[in-house]
């Protein structure tokens, strides 16, 4: 387990360093954001301002939203440990899917920086920045598409669903409430657009496909 922990820690360190290096073209980020806003208005999906305004008037729910927004890394670690210890038969698939997701998301961030609603949509309040539980330095946040929070929350749900499905199929479905909650949080806090979440769903699907292909190309790996 120590070797596995070191491997995953290395993956996350590399990912966070590369992620921090993306999204610095502010002009392109603004252009992409305005284009996305235009598309959403045409499709009737421009709900971010209304949802953000509603949450801004709910002080109790603001605290809950900030907690959920900040705790998703703990959820990822918890799910990884739980699957490794209790459901080793699916761990390899789960880990491959996570690594694939982290690899696939970076080229999108490099190619299409995008300013989130809190920076580019007039009237949106940056709720997490204003009500954060700890004093954190401001981040650029010009990597809104797809939503990393929603994508990794969906990965958590997929991992739990995959582990519980054989013995507890109905209970396994409850895992998908987590990405739904995270979706509500990123909308209402002004961090993402509707189409960002659509991108996150596509990212999860692509990551599962890559992990499946990875397994087929590596038949000597132990089956779990």
For the cut 60, the answer to whether the pLDDT of residue 25 exceeds it is yes
* Residue 164: count of CB within 10 angstroms of its CB: 19
Model pLDDT, residue 218: 75
Using DSSP's 3-state secondary structure scheme, residue 153 falls into helix
Model pLDDT, residue 220: 53
Q: How confident is the model at residue 7 (pLDDT cuts 50, 70, 90)?
A: confident
- Per residue in 123-174, pLDDT tens? 999 999 888 876 554 455 688 899 999 999 999 999 999 999 999 999 999 9
pTM: 0.90
* Residue 156: count of CB within 10 angstroms of its CB: 23
Residue pointed to by tokens 């392109």: 28
The DSSP secondary-structure symbol of 166 reads: T
Average pLDDT along the chain = 90
Q: Give dist(CA 127, CA 198) in Å, integer.
A: 22
| Encoded tokens for 15 | 């990912």
| Domain residue limits, the chain | 49-217
- Per residue in 168-198, pLDDT tens? 999 999 999 999 999 999 999 999 999 999 9
């Amino acid at each position: 387990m120590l070797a596995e922990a070191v491997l995953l820690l290395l993956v996350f360190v590399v990912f966070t360093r590369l992620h921090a290096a993306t999204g610095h073209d502010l002009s392109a980020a603004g252009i992409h954001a305005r284009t996305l806003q235009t598309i959403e208005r045409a499709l009737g999906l421009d709900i971010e301002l209304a949802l953000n305004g509603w949450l801004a008037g709910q002080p109790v729910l603001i605290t809950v939203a900030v907690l959920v927004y900040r705790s998703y890394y703990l959820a990822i670690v918890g799910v990884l440990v739980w699957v490794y210890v209790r459901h080793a038969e699916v761990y390899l698939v789960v880990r491959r899917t996570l690594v694939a997701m982290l690899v696939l998301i970076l080229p999108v961030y490099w190619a299409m920086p995008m300013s989130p609603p809190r920076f580019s949509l007039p009237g949106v309040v940056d709720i997490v920045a204003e009500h954060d539980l700890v004093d954190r330095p401001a981040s650029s946040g010009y990597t809104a598409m797809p939503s990393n929070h929603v994508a990794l929350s969906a990965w958590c749900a997929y991992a739990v669903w995959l582990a519980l499905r054989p013995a507890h199929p109905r209970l396994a479905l409850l895992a998908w409430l987590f990405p739904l909650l995270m979706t509500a949080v990123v909308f209402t806090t002004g961090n993402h657009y509707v189409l960002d979440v659509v991108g996150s769903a596509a990212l999860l699907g692509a990551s599962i496909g890559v992990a499946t292909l990875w397994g087929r190309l590596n038949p000597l790996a132990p089956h779990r």
